[in-house]
Amino acid sequence: MRLSEYVGHDATGLAALVRKGEVTPLELTRLARQAHDEVNPRINAVIEFYEDAEAIVGADEGSFCGVPFLRKDTGAAEAGRLQEEGSRLFKGCRSNRDSYFFRRARDSGLRTLGRTTIPELGTSGFTESILHGITRNPWDLERSAGGSSGGSAAAVAAGITPLAHGNDGGGSIRTPASWCGLVGLNPSRGRVSGGPDSQDESFGIPREFVLCRTVRDMAAALDVFSGPHAGDPFIIIQPNRPYREELSRPTGELRVGVARTKWGEVDLDPEVLAAVDSTAALLEEMGHIVTEIEPPCGLAERKRLRLKILHGRFNLRASWLEDAARTMGRAINADTLEPINLKLHEYCRNPSLFRAGEFHEALRTLRARVGEAIHPYDILLTPAMPTAALPHTGIYSTPNPTLSATEFMEANEALYQYLGVFNVTGQPSVSLPLVQSKSGLPIGIQVVGRFGDEATLVRVARDLEEARPWTGRLASVRAGAV
């Protein structure tokens, strides 16, 4: 198999070739290494391609038998491998056991070959750090790949692997999916176990999953990674059938709520609004009932609630950082944390500014407001991001050292206005690369489902992919293109 052929297949297609004996897992590992060597110097998405990659094994059977995979440098962990959180504070740290996520990855046949970049501690939506530098968007090297799963997204968009690990605590899968032209699902709270160490991190706000290029890979990954484990705080309703079977089932008539107005303080780019409108029209042509909806709560109330939630989450992280630093025998200071993370740490650990009751009440209120507002609809259609990929420099760059802690949280809330709200509600939501801007940048459209109803998202995403296919649209920096 040539490199140009390798990058043309999704993970499901590569696994089928392995099962037919047309290519071996070792050949795919070597092709992934060749792709890495060709494009990674330009995009800086992979910080470590394992020296022992050719010796890595996975199950001989499974949905992704022999398929190369990459791990984000935070969240789900591999025993014995570096996990540095993109931070000098954690430099050289290794995980002492596997997450259930990576046990399932191996059982599916995936070969995890390396780890990808993140912004320090996953704080920002721009993947840049002092430890590892800037990760560049393969569609335009002067623009951000998004974050915090930006390294994984850039690696998949550039063809290093057909899918890669990500996690999403406020848009960290969907932002890079939108900006890098990928499929990025954030599953329902509880769909993918965080065990054995993070079963209910931040009350289920962040979730583990993957970034990929096709809906069938998304469905197959749901089958691989979904399911409870001992010690999980609650068991979400399980699907009626494998998600791959949903790909051949009818969608039925759906009630669709469409968000055409901004849900935060960043204005909606006209091209993004046009993309939402064209997708809504497409769904209407498919026979669905489409209705424009207002924001689930007023801008002032939403901002107040989201800032309390962000403050509460950073307060929880402050305790974790202090415990980790103490265990490692390291200090938290300007030599170990980047400026904005140090500011957030010092600000949010102040006991006079944090009240646990207010944090929990903000979570409850936002869930209630959103739940009441969107209950009449089977799915929602929103922008993933209010703009296409932004340049590396500017107020939102990772993270702007001139901002105070409160200014950073306000900027975060403004830019990721359609994303973090569904981390709080726990609903599944997926960014689909349905449109391109006039300049050729991807524009992601978000489809949000009812809690626990990934099946409907799979069917709707399949319909949209068939009606408006995107696999022929390729990033300008892509392995095997020469």
394-417 per-position pLDDT tens digit: 776 656 778 899 999 999 889 999
pLDDT class of 189 with cuts at 50, 70, 90: very high
pLDDT value at residue 11: 98
Q: Are 197 and 99 in contact (CB under 8 A)?
A: yes
CA dist 248 to 216, 239, 241, Å?
Answer: 11, 15, 12
Of 24-33, 44-53, 223-232, 376-385, where does mean pLDDT reach its minimum? 223-232
pLDDT value at residue 348: 87
What's the rounded mean pLDDT across residues 247-272? 97
How many Å from the N-terminal Cα to the C-terminal Cα in the chain? 16
Measured between alpha carbons, how far is 110 from 212 in angstroms, rounded to an integer? 14
Phi, psi (rounded to 5 degrees) for 163: -155, 160
What's the rounded mean pLDDT across residues 246-253? 98
**Tokens found for residue 285:** 């042509």
Measured between alpha carbons, how far is 294 from 258 in angstroms, rounded to an integer? 9
The yes-or-no answer on residue 172 being catalytic is: yes
Q: Is 308 part of a structural domain of the chain?
A: no
Instruction: State yes or no: pLDDT of 206 exceeds 90.
Output: yes
What's the rounded mean pLDDT across residues 41-48? 98
Instruction: State yes or no: pLDDT of 169 exceeds 70.
Output: yes
Q: Which domain holds residue 265?
A: 3-295+377-399+421-467
Query: What is the signed CA dihedral for 81, 83, 89, 92, rounded to 10 degrees?
Result: 20
The yes-or-no answer on residue 108 being catalytic is: no
Average confidence score pLDDT of the chain: 95
- Catalytic one of 63, 72, 198, 303: 72
The yes-or-no answer on residue 178 being catalytic is: no
Residue 269: count other Cβ atoms within 10 Å of its Cβ.
Answer: 16
CATH number at residue 133: 3.90.1300.10
Q: pLDDT tens digit string along 112-153?
A: 999 999 999 999 999 999 999 999 999 999 999 999 999 999
- Catalytic one of 99, 124, 129, 148: 148
Q: Are 431 and 188 in contact (CB under 8 A)?
A: no
pLDDT value at residue 267: 95
Q: Are 278 and 258 in contact (CB under 8 A)?
A: no
Q: Is 91 part of a structural domain of the chain?
A: yes
pLDDT value at residue 399: 66
Which residues on adjacent β-strands are paired with residue 383?
Answer: 445
- Catalytic one of 63, 144, 172, 198: 172
Q: Is 317 part of a structural domain of the chain?
A: no
- Its pTM stands at 0.97
Instruction: State yes or no: pLDDT of 247 exceeds 90.
Output: yes
Q: pLDDT tens digit string along 70-112?
A: 999 999 999 999 999 999 999 999 999 999 999 999 999 999 9
Q: Is 127 part of a structural domain of the chain?
A: yes
pLDDT value at residue 402: 82
* Tokens 């490692």 belong to residue: 328
What does the DSSP assignment read for 404-454?
Answer: -HHHHHHHHHHHTTTTHHHHHH---EEEEEEEE-TTS-EEEEEEEE-TT-H
pLDDT class of 340 with cuts at 50, 70, 90: very high
Q: Which residues contact 479 (CB under 8 A, 6 or more apart)?
A: 3, 6, 7, 34, 35, 36, 38, 39, 158, 159, 160
pLDDT value at residue 302: 87
CA dist 417 to 120, 140, 194, 421, 433, Å?
Answer: 21, 24, 25, 7, 18
**Tokens found for residue 230:** 């001992």
Q: Is 227 part of a structural domain of the chain?
A: yes
Q: Is 70 part of a structural domain of the chain?
A: yes
Residue 235's Cβ-side half-sphere holds a number of Cα atoms within 13 Å equal to: 8
Q: Is 348 part of a structural domain of the chain?
A: no
- How many domains in the chain? 1
What's the rounded mean pLDDT across residues 465-482? 95
What's the rounded mean pLDDT across residues 11-18? 98
Of 319-328, 373-382, 392-401, where does mean pLDDT reach its minimum? 392-401
Q: Is 40 part of a structural domain of the chain?
A: yes
pLDDT value at residue 282: 98
